[in-house]
């Protein structure tokens, strides 16, 4: 049975939709909020902000995270900044311009109404964070400073050195601590959600594993909010934290929530290149570096050879022998083109043989011109910690020689389908932040992930969840001693017992690396019909291999990292196939999804709006069954869709 999707987009003009909607939805009185329980999964910018705000409103909140403290969620690693339409630089920025840049940056595959709301609340976020004591960068006059990010021609990005995500998360974590101290929020660190419980078609709670004792717990609530981030680690190597996983989102999908646009993956252009087979993760170098760094490869292949042989240093190559290929191809935006465009351009040069390291998979990001123009001190002030981090990892100083960079998996625009209220296809189950699909279309602009997480958590969900909960004010506490909870707990325990009993020959990491290889080669930066069909077959085979040959050691009733990883990999092995299926279905190129068969003569992404102007929403049918596709048409009332142009 296909989904009956209702995005619940409010009527009226784009700029009035959110105000109209807020006025129309129900609210819950303070006396009734006290009777209602909400579970929040994840404590990043979305989950942390939501849990704190909901607790403040008077709901009883339980918040879960897999780390040892809510402060460690992966939002903390975001470096560059957060966008807002404040127009503090007087460069003619506006809510409309931020909306337009985001829609265009997403290659016209996001919902207009959601994106407009995001731009609308962006300014409130900055106010909120400053009031919490987030030490944003300031000018000498004491006012807030800004910088530029990709896909924008204005300076609208607020930042706290290269640690913006950390500072915003510490703000949300502090707000959460305030509520934990007040007793409105109860925190469950080192707990992992292993299933969502659905009763009479509504979300009623979760099954969680205490990661210290191994105990399986039942938690009931009137609503469940998924804020568990993205699923980029399906690729094994990515910029995500080691623990980042798609399992909470995947359990929702398994229980009947639609999963939208799973193939939309962001490959970030500026990461430190892979150095060998022992590597566990990839390190991002902030997009903010492209404010002052220039990206190039040599013009001559003999220079490339000499670089690889080590007989030539990058700084020896003369200005006229350098190909600043982004500036050449995209004069209007130059080095600040959106991420998908920058990544593909790097791949194009490396495929043509101009990759500058021994693997042929690297380009230069050079600060020479900026250091000459501004001096080393200013560059150090702006990027000092990033330069230090680079030198620590590679043993090369970016003050002396250019950085080497290469694209890497960074973010997933796809996620759980949600309506305008951020509710999934399961009533009472919400998804916010990177875990949902709603705002970034086929490509996310830099400094917009932090914006979306906090927008959803502070300013959208706390209102929209009331519209659902208003009907629950007479409902008693959720009873966890029901068949639905019993069955869900039993299934989780059986799955764990099965994994422990296989006792095969391969470790979880052995199989995860194989999956990552299949994904990167076939469902990576450039995809074809053939590569995707191949990936589906290979992932299915690997999944069988996993369930026959994985080796999980230790005791499930104890702290057991191998078991945690095995449970997550089991889901990645299904999610990877779903991504490939979605990519195969979408026979067009858009944003981060590049099908080689569909490109312009100049090698740019070629959309087919007539055929594919929809969100692809998938319904789970079983581990070895093909999922069913439902389409949510994307209707553009305000924006004229064009071939994205960053040239002039």
Catalytic positions = 339
- Comparison of 52 and 426: residue with beta carbon closer to other proteins: 52
Residues 502-531: x where in contact with other proteins by CB under 8 A, - otherwise, as a string: ---x-xxxx---------------------
Question: 386-425 mask for other proteins (x: CB under 8 A)?
Answer: --xx--xx-x------------------------------
45-78: b or e for each residue (b if 16 or more CB lie within 10 Å)?
bbbbbbbbbbbbbbbbbbbbbbbeebbbbbbbbb
Shortest distance (Å) from residue 206 CB to other proteins? 22
Instruction: Give every strand in the sheet of 628-633, ordered side by side.
Output: 415-416, 259-260, 614-619, 628-633
User: Which residue in the set 276, 310, 476, 622 belongs to the binding site for other proteins (CB under 8 A)?
Assistant: 276
Dihedral pair phi/psi, residue 208, rounded to 5°: -125, 155
Is residue 31 a contact point for other proteins (CB under 8 A)?
Answer: no
- Residue 77 binding other proteins, by CB under 8 A: yes
> Using CB under 8 A, which of 331, 375, 554, 603 touches other proteins?
554
Kindly state whether residue 245 participates in binding other proteins, applying the rule CB under 8 A: no
Among 83, 166, 251, 448, binds other proteins (CB under 8 A): 166
Q: Which of 13, 19, 24, 135 binds other proteins (CB under 8 A)?
A: 135
Compare residues 58 and 360 and give the one whose CB is closer to other proteins: 58
Binding positions for other proteins, 359-388, rule CB under 8 A: 388
Tell me: does residue 641 bind other proteins (CB under 8 A).
no
Query: Which DSSP letter does residue 606 get?
Result: -
Listed in sequence order, the DSSP H helices in 133-244 are 164-182
Distance (Å, rounded) from C-alpha 73 to C-alpha 69? 8
Report, in Å, the least distance between residue 375 CB and other proteins: 18
Q: How far is the CB of 203 from other proteins (least distance, A)?
A: 24
* Closest CB to other proteins among residues 71, 440: 71
Secondary structure (3-state) at 90: coil
Residue 367 vs 459, nearer CB to other proteins: 459
**Shortest distance, CB of residue 167 to other proteins, whole angstroms?**
6
List the one residue from 553, 623, 626, 635 that touches other proteins (CB under 8 A): 553
Window contacting other proteins (CB under 8 A); options: 123-131, 331-339, 401-409, 488-496: 123-131
End-to-end CA distance of the chain: 47
Cα–Cα–Cα angle for 599, 601, 607, rounded to 5 degrees: 30
Residue list 560-619, contact with other proteins (CB under 8 A) = 561-562
* 16 Cβ neighbours under 8 A, 6+ residues apart: none
**Residue 88 CB, nearest approach to other proteins (Å):** 6
For the chain, the 3-state helix, strand and coil shares in percent, each to the nearest 5, are: 45, 15, 40
State the CB neighbour count (10 A cutoff) for residue 116: 24
CB burial readout 195-223, b (16+ within 10 A) else e = bbbbbeebbbbbbbbebeebebbbbbbbb
The CB-of-266 to other proteins minimum distance in angstroms stands at 17
Nearer of residues 189 and 256 to other proteins, judged by Cβ? 189
- Interaction residues for other proteins, span 454-473 (CB under 8 A): 458-459, 462
Contact flag: residue 646 with other proteins (CB under 8 A):
no
Whether residue 193 contacts residue 136, with contact meaning beta carbons closer than 8 Å, is answered with: no
Kindly tell me which of 511 and 616 has the beta carbon lying closer to other proteins.
Answer: 511
Helix (H, G, I), strand (E, B) or coil at 367: coil
Q: Is residue 88 close enough to count as binding other proteins by CB under 8 A?
A: yes
Token digits of residue 531: 């590569």
Q: Is 126 in the site for other proteins (CB under 8 A)?
A: yes
When asked if residue 127 is in the footprint of other proteins (CB under 8 A), the reply is yes
CB 363, CB 296: distance < 8 Å: yes
Q: Which residues contact 514 (CB under 8 A, 6 or more apart)?
A: 542
Task: Determine the Cα–Cα distance for residues 474 and 487; give it in Å rounded to an integer.
Answer: 26
CA dihedral 329→331→335→337, nearest 10 degrees, is -80
| From 14, 76, 154, 590, residue interacting with other proteins (rule: CB under 8 A) | 76
Range 210-239, binding other proteins (CB under 8 A): 212
| 186: its two tokens | 């109860």
Q: Under the criterion CB under 8 A, does residue 278 sit at the interface with other proteins? A: yes
Determine the 3-state secondary structure of 52 from DSSP.
helix
Size of the site for other proteins (CB under 8 A): 82
Decide if residue 189 touches other proteins (CB under 8 A).
yes
Residue 183 touches other proteins, criterion: CB under 8 A: no
Query: d(Cα 336, Cα 108) in Å, to the nearest integer?
Result: 19
**Residue of 19, 20, 29, 279 interacting with other proteins (CB under 8 A):** 279
Q: Does the protein bind other proteins through residue 138 (CB under 8 A)?
A: yes
Cβ 242 to other proteins shortest distance, Å: 6
């Amino acid at each position: 049975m296909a989904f009956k999707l209702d995005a619940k987009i409010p009527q009226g003009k784009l700029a009035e939709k959110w105000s109209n909607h807020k006025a129309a939805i129900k609210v819950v009185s303070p006396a009734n909020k006290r009777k209602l329980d909400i579970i929040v999964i994840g404590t990043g910018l979305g989950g942390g902000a939501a849990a704190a705000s909901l607790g403040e409103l008077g709901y009883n909140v339980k918040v879960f995270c897999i780390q040892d403290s809510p402060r460690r969620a992966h939002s903390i690693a975001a470096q560059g900044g957060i966008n807002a339409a404040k127009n503090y630089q007087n460069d003619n920025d506006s809510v409309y311009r931020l909306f337009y840049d985001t829609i265009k940056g997403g290659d016209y595959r996001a919902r207009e109404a959601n994106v407009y709301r995001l731009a609308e609340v962006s300014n409130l976020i900055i106010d909120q964070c400053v009031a919490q004591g987030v030490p944003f960068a300031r000018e000498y006059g004491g006012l807030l400073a800004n910088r530029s990010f990709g896909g924008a021609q204005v300076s609208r990005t607020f930042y706290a050195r290269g640690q913006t995500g950390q500072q915003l998360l510490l703000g949300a974590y502090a707000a959460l601590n305030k509520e934990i101290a007040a007793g409105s929020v109860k925190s469950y660190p080192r707990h992992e959600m292993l299933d969502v419980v659905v009763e009479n078609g509504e979300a009623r709670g979760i099954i969680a594993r205490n990661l210290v004792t191994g105990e399986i717990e039942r938690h009931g609530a009137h609503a469940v909010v998924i804020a568990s981030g993205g699923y980029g680690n399906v690729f094994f190597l990515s910029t995500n934290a080691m623990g980042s996983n798609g399992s909470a989102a995947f359990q929702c999908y398994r229980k009947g929530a639609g999963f939208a646009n799973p193939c939309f993956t962001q490959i970030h252009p500026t990461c430190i290149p892979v150095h060998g087979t022992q590597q566990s993760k990839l390190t991002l170098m902030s997009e903010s570096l492209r404010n002052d760094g220039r990206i190039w490869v040599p013009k001559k292949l003999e220079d490339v050879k000499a670089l690889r042989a080590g007989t030539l240093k990058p700084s020896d190559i003369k200005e006229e022998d350098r190909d600043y290929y982004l500036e050449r191809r995209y004069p209007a935006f130059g080095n600040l083109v959106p991420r998908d465009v920058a990544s593909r351009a790097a791949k194009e040069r490396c495929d043509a043989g101009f990759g500058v390291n021994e693997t042929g998979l690297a380009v230069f990001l050079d600060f020479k011109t900026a250091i000459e123009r501004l001096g080393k001190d200013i560059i150090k002030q702006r990027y000092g910690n990033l330069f230090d981090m680079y030198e620590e990892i590679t043993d090369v100083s970016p003050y002396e020689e250019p950085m080497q960079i290469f694209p890497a998996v960074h973010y997933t625009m796809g996620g759980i389908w949600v309506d305008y209220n951020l509710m999934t296809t399961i009533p009472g189950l919400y998804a916010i932040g990177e875990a949902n699909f709603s705002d970034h279309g086929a490509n996310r602009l830099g400094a917009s992930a932090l914006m979306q997480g906090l927008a959803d958590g502070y300013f959208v969900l706390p209102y929209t969840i009331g519209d659902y909960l208003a009907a629950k004010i007479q409902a008693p506490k959720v009873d966890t001693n029901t068949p639905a909870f019993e069955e869900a707990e039993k299934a989780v325990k059986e799955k764990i017992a099965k994994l422990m009993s296989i006792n095969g020959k391969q470790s979880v990491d052995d199989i995860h690396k194989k999956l990552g290889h299949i994904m990167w080669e076939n469902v990576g930066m450039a995809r074809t019909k053939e590569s995707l069909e191949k990936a589906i077959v290979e992932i299915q085979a690997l999944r069988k291999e996993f369930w026959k040959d994985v080796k999980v050691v230790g005791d499930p009733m104890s702290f057991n990292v191998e078991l945690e990883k095995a449970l997550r990999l089991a889901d990645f092995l299904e999610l990877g196939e779903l991504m490939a299926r979605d990519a195969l279905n979408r026979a067009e190129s858009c944003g981060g999804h590049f099908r080689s068969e569909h490109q312009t003569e100049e090698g740019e992404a070629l959309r087919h709006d007539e055929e594919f102007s929809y969100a692809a929403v998938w319904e789970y049918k079983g581990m070895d069954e093909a999922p069913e596709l439902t389409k949510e048409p994307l209707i553009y009332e305000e924006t004229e869709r064009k071939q994205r142009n960053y040239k002039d």
